[in-house]
């Protein structure tokens, strides 16, 4: 590359990308190649086809621009000086914000080992050099269509109050998450992407095995409780590379938070209990011992026992089993969705 070689235009300055990219009417493509002629040919072809085009001439620049702009697809040169395309792809797939982006490799190397390396590092496809713009456009359309469908599914789930994450079963990496999912995982599990909470990963691999062996029924849900709220995880579908095995593929998981605060309030009103007595009865219904309830509420088992004695009097029962049964019947009437 010489100092006088003209550079293809860039859609906008990096700091302004998020505010200026027209994602509603145009897919954003990042082209990564250290040869200006290749960039110019592809830039012109894609620009004429209605795409918003960004360019990078090195691996480091590609990582920076991908994180800043989060393009819809990346066309990546395999062989570049310094950081090659394989390493760029591996780093992009290790980052939660860029892991979902389809990567199409551009390579002049047709030996099997290089093509395998392209796919193993995270590429979904490859085109060989010299580049034929029409072939590139056709390959892009296939992968963009799948990416759009997966994005629409995730957005729809999130809009209806469901948080979603995508986890790669092979190594347990958290590949993608909605903002709501990020907040819930931090609050319930104290983890951040790309780390998948250990209970979630263990559950996922067991659920995937059930899918692999075609066991009857839907895989069981995972529930993590935190006080009177709980977070449930449900296996939704395999995403990404349709040819990947279930054990190694990416899985979309739907999360939903449920609060039983309204249930506790309803028990308090129905049985004329104090707020603390209603909480104790709630945990009795959930099958907790006096010690468990004391730990949850920050009280001693003796204090819990005294609350229970007053609850028995107000409900007209003599045992915790009878109290739990009466409470459950009333809860079912008022909140049919309650999971005891």
Same-domain pairing of 275 and 237: no
Same-domain pairing of 19 and 147: yes
Q: What is the pLDDT of residue 340?
A: 63
HEC letters along 74-92: EEEECCCCCCCHHHHHHHH
Q: What is the pLDDT of residue 192?
A: 83
Read off the tokens for 172: 């347990």
C-alpha dihedral sign at 187, 162, 227, 224: negative
Q: Which residues contact 33 (CB under 8 A, 6 or more apart)?
A: 39, 42, 55, 57, 75, 77, 80, 106
CA distance linking residue 27 with residue 75, whole number of Å: 13
The reply to whether 142 falls in a domain is yes
Same-domain pairing of 238 and 267: no
Could you say which of 206, 237, 259 is where a domain stops?
A: 259
* Average pLDDT value for the chain: 84
CA nearest 130: which of 77, 57, 196? Answer: 77
Could you say which of 213, 228, 259 is where a domain stops?
A: 259
Q: What is the pLDDT of residue 216?
A: 66
Same-domain pairing of 118 and 165: no
The reply to whether 89 falls in a domain is yes
Read off the tokens for 13: 């300055």
The reply to whether 5 falls in a domain is no
CA distance linking residue 60 with residue 121, whole number of Å: 17
Same-domain pairing of 168 and 209: yes
Split into its structural domains, the chain has a count of 3
Asked if residues 74 and 66 have their Cβ atoms less than 8 Å apart, the reply is yes
In this structure, the number of other CB atoms found within 10 A of the CB of residue 55 comes to 23
Same-domain pairing of 147 and 190: no
Q: How does pLDDT run across 264-275, given as a tens digit for each residue?
A: 888 899 899 999
Q: How does pLDDT run across 159-187, given as a tens digit for each residue?
A: 776 788 889 888 888 888 888 888 999 99
DSSP helix/strand/coil, 170: coil
Could you say which of 259, 281, 298 is where a domain stops?
A: 259
Same-domain pairing of 176 and 142: no
Q: Which residues contact 151 (CB under 8 A, 6 or more apart)?
A: none
Same-domain pairing of 29 and 147: yes
Q: How does pLDDT run across 110-160, given as a tens digit for each residue?
A: 777 777 888 888 888 888 888 899 999 999 998 888 778 777 777 777 777
The residue segments making up the domain with residue 309 are 261-334
Q: What is the pLDDT of residue 113?
A: 76
Q: What is the pLDDT of residue 14?
A: 40
CATH of residue 68: 3.40.50.2300
Same-domain pairing of 226 and 146: no
Asked if residues 248 and 284 have their Cβ atoms less than 8 Å apart, the reply is no
Q: What is the pLDDT of residue 272?
A: 93
Same-domain pairing of 34 and 115: yes
Same-domain pairing of 250 and 265: no
The reply to whether 296 falls in a domain is yes
Same-domain pairing of 142 and 67: yes
Residue spans of the chain under pLDDT 50: 1-19
Q: What is the pLDDT of residue 274?
A: 94
């Amino acid at each position: 590359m010489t100092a006088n070689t003209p550079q293809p235009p860039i859609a906008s300055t990096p700091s302004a990308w998020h505010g200026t990219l027209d994602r509603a009417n145009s897919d954003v493509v990042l082209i990564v190649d250290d040869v200006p002629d290749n960039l110019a040919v592809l830039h012109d072809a894609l620009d004429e086809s209605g795409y918003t085009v960004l360019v990078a001439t090195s691996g480091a620049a590609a990582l920076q621009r991908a994180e800043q702009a989060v393009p819809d697809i990346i066309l990546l040169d395999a062989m570049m000086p310094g950081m090659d395309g394989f390493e760029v792809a591996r780093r992009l797939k290790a980052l939660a914000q860029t892991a979902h982006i389809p990567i199409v490799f551009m390579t002049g190397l047709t030996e099997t080992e290089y093509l395998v390396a392209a796919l193993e590092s995270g590429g979904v496809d490859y085109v060989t050099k010299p580049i034929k713009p029409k072939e590139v456009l056709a390959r892009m359309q296939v992968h963009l269509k799948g990416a759009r469908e997966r994005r629409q599914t995730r957005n729809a789930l999130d809009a209806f109050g469901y948080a979603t994450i995508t986890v790669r079963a092979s190594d347990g990496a958290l590949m993608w998450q909605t903002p709501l999912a990020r907040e819930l995982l931090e609050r319930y599990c104290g983890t951040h992407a790309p780390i998948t909470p250990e209970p979630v990963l263990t559950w996922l691999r067991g659920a995937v095995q059930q899918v692999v062996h075609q066991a009857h029924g839907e895989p069981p849900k995972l529930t993590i409780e935190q006080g009177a709220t709980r977070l449930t995880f449900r296996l939704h579908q395999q995403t990404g590379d349709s040819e990947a095995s279930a054990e190694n593929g990416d899985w979309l998981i739907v999360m939903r938070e449920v609060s039983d605060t309204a249930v506790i309030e309803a028990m308090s009103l129905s049985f004329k209990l104090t707020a603390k007595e209603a909480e104790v009865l709630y945990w009795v219904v959930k099958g907790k011992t006096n010690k468990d309830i004391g730990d949850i509420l920050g009280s001693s088992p003796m204090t819990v026992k005294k609350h229970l004695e007053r609850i028995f009097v107000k409900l007209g029962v003599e045992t915790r089993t009878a109290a739990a049964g009466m409470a459950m019947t009333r809860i079912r009437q008022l909140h049919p969705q309650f999971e005891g």
